[in-house]
Amino acid sequence: MMEPVRLGPQDAGEILTLQRAAYVTEARAHRTFDLPPLVETLAETREALGDPLCLAWGYREEARLVASVRVRVVGNVGEVGRLVVAPDRQGNGYGSSLLLAAEARLPRGVTVFRLFTGEYSQGPLRLYKRLGYHETHRSPEFDYQLVHFEKEIA
């Protein structure tokens, strides 16, 4: 697998485009296009990426961004969000590889990773379990449940 590159506010437009393309499948599965990644604005994306606590990485094929992830560091917790892979590249290991690469690149004090996905997100649910995340709880969101996961790092 290729080496991940650090992403920042200058990549916001490209990340937002990738994010919107990647989340259409999730929106259909959950019967709503009001998912936060789909309604996030360019300004909000740029602001999130400019937060010093937010670390973002991606994979590029030549100049094209094909996968990205953000992790917000809060104390000893890495809050994983917006793990996205271009629809034409899904199923090729980019998501799992990028998530593991992000975990390995976080500051030493991070000992717990947390993330969530929708209950109908079959691919992500399988991915997170395969990578050692365990379900901690569920919370209501619109007409479905968010499934929260955690992974501890020794």
DSSP string covering 76-138: TEEEEEEEEE-GGGTTSSHHHHHHHHHHHHS-TT--EEEEEEETT-HHHHHHHHHTT-EEEEE
Q: How confident is the model at residue 82 (pLDDT cuts 50, 70, 90)?
A: very high
Instruction: Please give the residue range of the domain that contains residue 141.
Output: 5-152
Q: Looking at residue 142, what is its pLDDT?
A: 85
pLDDT digits (tens, 9 = 90+) for 16-63: 999 999 999 999 999 889 888 999 999 999 999 999 999 999 999 999
Total domains present in the chain: 1
Q: What is the CATH number of the domain that holds 63?
A: 3.40.630.30
Separation of alpha carbons 85 and 23, rounded Å: 9
Contact (CB, 8 A) for 44 and 63: no
